């Protein structure tokens, strides 16, 4: 068991959830407030996406990220900022016998450096690096991350002095984690997020979790999450398996059946589970020391 875990709060995500929760953060002000709320509740790390304020759809716009980051940094609340760098690899194929007639509603495909524009401009302490391509749900939509794209992104993230959080959605993605470490594209201790429950990736079951943990590079620091109703059981599972914790409205909208959650409430419940298991959750300064993060500006 990990008796000194840290908690990450993923405050909004980019999925089609804006109409499913009455208070899902969608504006920069609301997303920043959610990150601050999570930090005050005890989260050491805030994982941040941005959304288009008028539609609630996921966005890559630098000005939205800038406003969120500045609001959090100016708040005086200490939290490690972890910005997603996973947007810009969305590919919606055409239906039937015309797959190359791409669905423009769901396709947002740009190069690896453009996907890092906000990371270069804002220099968070951590940013995500998805470690493979994957079908996301039914239909003709996939998220594309080729080995060459990922190597280019990893090299630039390393140059920027930002810590990559290596997102693993299925067991095969660990193959690429191993390659990044072997090729010297990851400095210091590898930081890995084991993402479970997303169709069609790794399921939220203990056998799969332990299989992935057993394939991690030596010395890795890792976290894991389960989505929806598995979010809170996964708090205990990840800690027992030696990992750290992620909760938040990106992965689960409810505190109890039929009761919508806030990010702060999800963090508080996760911390309650950990403390009752005998753990001492870490604060942001301790996480920076453990991961040798660059001091925030």
80 phi, psi to nearest 5 deg:
-75, 125
| Cα separation, 2 vs 11, whole angstroms | 24
Q: What is the pLDDT of residue 57?
A: 94
- By C-alpha distance, which of 94, 98, 44, 35 is closest to 68? 35
Q: What b/e sequence results for 81-102 when a residue is b if at least 16 CB atoms lie within 10 Å of its CB, and e otherwise?
A: bbbbbbbbbbbbbeeeeeeeee
In this predicted structure, what is the pLDDT of residue 58? Answer: 95
Q: Looking at the chain, how many residues does it have?
A: 297
Q: Are 251 and 225 in contact (CB under 8 A)?
A: yes
pLDDT of residue 216: 98
Centre a 10 Å sphere on the Cβ of residue 137 and count the other Cβ atoms it contains: 11
Q: What angle (nearest 5°) sits at the alpha carbon of residue 106, between those of residues 27 and 24? A: 25
Of 221, 209, 212, 218, the closest CA to residue 164 belongs to: 221
* pLDDT, one tens digit for every residue, the chain (297 residues): 999 999 999 999 999 999 999 999 999 999 999 999 999 999 999 999 999 999 999 999 999 999 999 999 999 999 999 999 999 999 999 999 999 999 998 999 999 999 999 999 999 999 999 999 999 888 899 999 999 999 999 999 999 999 999 999 999 999 999 999 999 999 999 999 999 999 999 999 999 999 999 999 999 999 999 999 999 999 999 999 999 999 999 999 999 999 999 999 999 999 999 999 999 999 999 999 999 998 655
Which residues neighbour 272 within 8 Å (Cβ) at sequence distance 6 or greater?
none
Handedness of CA 249, 251, 255, 259 (dihedral sign): positive
CA distance 247 to 263: 8
pTM metric for this prediction? 0.96
pLDDT of residue 136: 85
* The CATH number of the domain covering residues in 7-291: 3.20.20.70
Within the chain, where are the H helices?
A: 28-41, 62-74, 117-122, 147-160, 173-182, 206-213, 231-240, 263-276, 284-291
Cα distance between residue 132 and residue 150, in whole Å: 8
The Cα 218–Cα 188 span in angstroms is 11
Cis status, amide bond into 64, omega within 30 of 0: no
């Amino acid at each position: 068991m990990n008796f000194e875990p840290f908690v990450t709060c993923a405050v909004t995500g980019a999925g089609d959830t804006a109409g499913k929760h009455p208070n899902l953060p969608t504006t920069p002000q609301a997303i920043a407030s959610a990150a601050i709320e999570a930090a005050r509740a005890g989260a050491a790390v805030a994982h941040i996406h941005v959304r288009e304020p008028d539609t609630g759809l996921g966005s890559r716009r630098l000005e939205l990220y800038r406003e969120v980051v500045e609001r959090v940094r100016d708040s005086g609340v200490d939290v490690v900022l972890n910005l997603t760098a996973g947007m810009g690899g969305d590919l919606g194929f055409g239906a039937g016998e015309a797959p190359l007639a791409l669905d423009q509603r769901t396709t947002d495909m740009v190069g690896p450096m453009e996907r890092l524009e906000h990371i270069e401009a804002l220099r968070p302490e951590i940013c995500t690096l998805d470690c493979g391509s994957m079908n996301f749900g039914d239909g003709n939509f996939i998220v594309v991350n080729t080995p060459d794209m990922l190597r280019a992104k990893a090299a630039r993230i390393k140059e920027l002095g930002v810590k990559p959080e290596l997102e693993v959605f299925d067991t095969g993605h660990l193959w690429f984690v191993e390659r990044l470490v072997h090729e010297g594209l990851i400095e210091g201790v590898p930081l890995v997020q084991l993402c479970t429950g997303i169709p069609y990736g790794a399921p939220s079951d203990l056998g799969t979790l332990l299989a992935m943990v057993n394939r991690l590079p030596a010395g890795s620091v890792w976290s894991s999450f389960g989505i929806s109703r598995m979010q809170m059981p996964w708090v205990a599972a990840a800690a027992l398996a030696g990992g750290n914790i992620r909760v938040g409205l990106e992965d689960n909208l409810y505190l109890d059946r039929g009761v919508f959650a806030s990010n702060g409430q999800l963090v508080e419940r996760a911390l309650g589970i950990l403390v009752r298991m005998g753990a001492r959750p870490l604060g942001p300064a301790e996480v920076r020391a453990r991961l040798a993060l660059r001091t925030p500006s």
